[in-house]
Chain A
Amino acid sequence: MASRYDRAITVFSPDGHLFQVEYAQEAVKKGSTAVGIRGTNIVVLGVEKKSVAKLQDERTVRKICALDDHVCMAFAVLTIFIGLTADARVVINRARVECQSHKLTVEDPVTVEYITRFIATLKQKYTQSNGRRPFGISALIVGFDDDGIPRLYQTDPSGTYHAWKANAIGRSAKTVREFLEKNYTEDAIASDNEAIKLAIKALLEVVQSGGKNIELAIIRRNQPLKMFSAKEVELYVTEIEREKEEAEKKKSKKPV
């Protein structure tokens, strides 16, 4: 039944599915896992980095991108796209142009919600035209607005977007989301360091080889965005492992 209604993007199936869009969502599930966390004064984006081939230049493999960076106000919008890398590149380019056009027409930098809505509208357009396929990407978009409130949005190939406190996309997104649902508490995000650790812990659930396969970026309120180097991520990972050991020691001592 599905095969009769999934060839063209602009055709609904009798039970109301747009199969091409759903297949695009499947494409996203093949991408690496990414997690986004909205703290009180910080937003964190982390992504699993696939191991780089020996001859490949590691510095050029970056998944987290800045969409806009307002120099005077230390404002930035960070994003990560999971799914088809080439699609991601095209959408990032359009979003960056839109950020600057907005500044040109309206003098103010974009709000995170505005640029998310732009990306989502763009994705939706491609689900409703003939001759084109949907973008096979989901995005996590984080940033601070003028009013200093941190925001995290997620978009998917169908063009819907929602605001989240914490979310994950890509392979094993379900596992990570369940972990976040259990562990995202007011205490967990109380300090910036705790929020960063929560993001790393969430990724460590699914990432095989630990710290060197995690890429992390944060924005603190009123500060420029910061991309973590592998060493800094390692520091956090060792701290997390130490805390885990101490917690286990405490647990094993209890029955005595």
Chain B
Amino acid sequence: MKRQLTCLSGQFWLWPSFSVASLLPHQTPVTNSWLASSKLHSAPGMALQDVCKWQSPDTQGPSPHLPQAGGWAVPRGCDPQTFLQIHGPRLAHGTTTLAFRFRHGVIAAADTRSSCGSYVACPASCKVIPVHQHLLGTTSGTSADCATWYRVLQRELRLRELREGQLPSVASAAKLLSAMMSRYRGLDLCVATALCGWDRSGPMLFYVYSDGTRLQGDIFSVGSGSPYAYGVLDRGYRYDMSTQEAYALARCAVAHATHRDAYSGGSVDLFHVRESGWEHVSRSDACVLYSGVTEAPGARARGGCQPCPS
């Protein structure tokens, strides 16, 4: 029953062992299919090695850091985690993204600066990735990892929609993403994302991290600028906000974060997921937005500094 309990991607490993084993020249077809069919009932992975006892000469067994499910062969003397720590680029996960849910849907906002250390790789990148009509993801961490895993998530959700006749819920999408990524735990994936969507139970927001964390909540902010954004968000958030208030709050939070965090900047993207689907509301320059926000007469009264008593 163990194999029944592995998730969907666990099943995927059984089929390659069947088809590749049938191509082996040394075995007769009958023994082949017997072995292959018995392989379907034994532990997943490593089936090729078991069947023909082949070991690549310049590989070693998997390092203890690697998850068991994959059956990885790595170059000799190489443990990915220590290797990356010593030789890998210094990836500072600089960004500010935030998402919060309220009565009229889920707001997702992010800055647009892609940084690589102190070098701005792209000042106008888009950190909010649409997954399907009713689901968006804000991305933080390694852009490449985020982009790849979102494509994999899109594929999974699309397949399930075709099979079941309806899209999976946001909770399902978050569960699938976190389960997929937790199989690569210890391999230095870095994906910190907030899934924002509207499903049968209304607006939903989940935070998913690449070590497998999966949290449901009302407000999440991710990235190096998140402390600054949280300050503004926690001050102004109410579940019963109007849509315009929500837009203003999101823009204000990201603008303040870009003002103080070196790794956030560029522009501010604003997305809104409603019952009818997601919508790109605006992209505004961060500096312009910040000066607009701090000069507004209400801003000073609400949150400006009190003059020191003299």
Contacts and interface: CB of A to CB of B under 8 A. Distances in A.
A107 interface: yes
A105 B169 contact: no
A57 B174 CA distance: 47
B37 A106 contact: no
Interface stretch (A31-39, A96-104, A197-205, A238-246): A96-104
A23 interface: no
Nearest to A131: B37
B176 A98 contact: no
Contacts of A94: 4
B160 to A, nearest CB: 8
A108 B37 contact: no
B169 A101 contact: no
B175 A105 contact: yes
Interface in A71-127: 94, 97-98, 101, 104-108, 111, 113-114
Contact of A108 (B5, B172, B179): B172
Nearest to B7: A105
Contacts of B164: 111, 113-114
Contacts of A101: 4-5, 7
B200 interface: yes
Contact of B175 (A107, A130, A146): A107
Nearest to A110: B164
A105 B164 CA distance: 15
Contacts of A146: 200
Interface in B25-43: 33, 37
B169 A108 contact: yes
A175 interface: no
B169 to A, nearest CB: 6
A104 B5 contact: yes
Contacts, number: 38
A114 B172 CA distance: 15
B168 A105 contact: no
Contact of B37 (A97, A107, A113, A129): A129
Contact of A105 (B37, B165, B176): B176
Contact of A97 (B4, B160, B168, B171): B4
Contacts of B169: 107-108
B15 to A, nearest CB: 13
Query: DSSP class of A's interface residues: helix, strand, loop or mixed?
Result: helix
Name the interface size band of chain A: 10 to 19
Name the interface size band of chain B: 10 to 19
B195 to A, nearest CB: 12
Given A105-B179, A130-B33, A146-B200, A98 B172 contact: no
Nearest to A146: B200
B288 interface: no
A114 B164 CA distance: 7
Interface in A109-167: 111, 113-114, 129-131, 146
A108 to B, nearest CB: 6
B23 interface: no
Interface in B138-170: 160, 164-165, 168-169
Contact of A107 (B5, B160, B165, B171): B171
B121 interface: no
B170 to A, nearest CB: 9
B37 A104 contact: no
A97 B1 CA distance: 8
A90 B202 CA distance: 39
A129 B8 CA distance: 22
Contacts of A131: 37
Contacts of B1: 97
A227 B165 CA distance: 31
Contacts of A105: 7-8, 175-176, 179
Given A130-B33, A131-B37, A106 B175 contact: yes
A129 B160 CA distance: 27
Given A107-B175, A108-B168, A108-B171, 8 more contacts: A97-B1, A104-B5, A106-B160, A106-B175, A107-B172, A111-B164, A114-B164, A130-B37
7 contacts: A106-B172, A107-B175, A108-B169, A111-B164, A114-B164, A129-B37, A130-B37
Interface of A: 94, 97-98, 101, 104-108, 111, 113-114, 129-131, 146
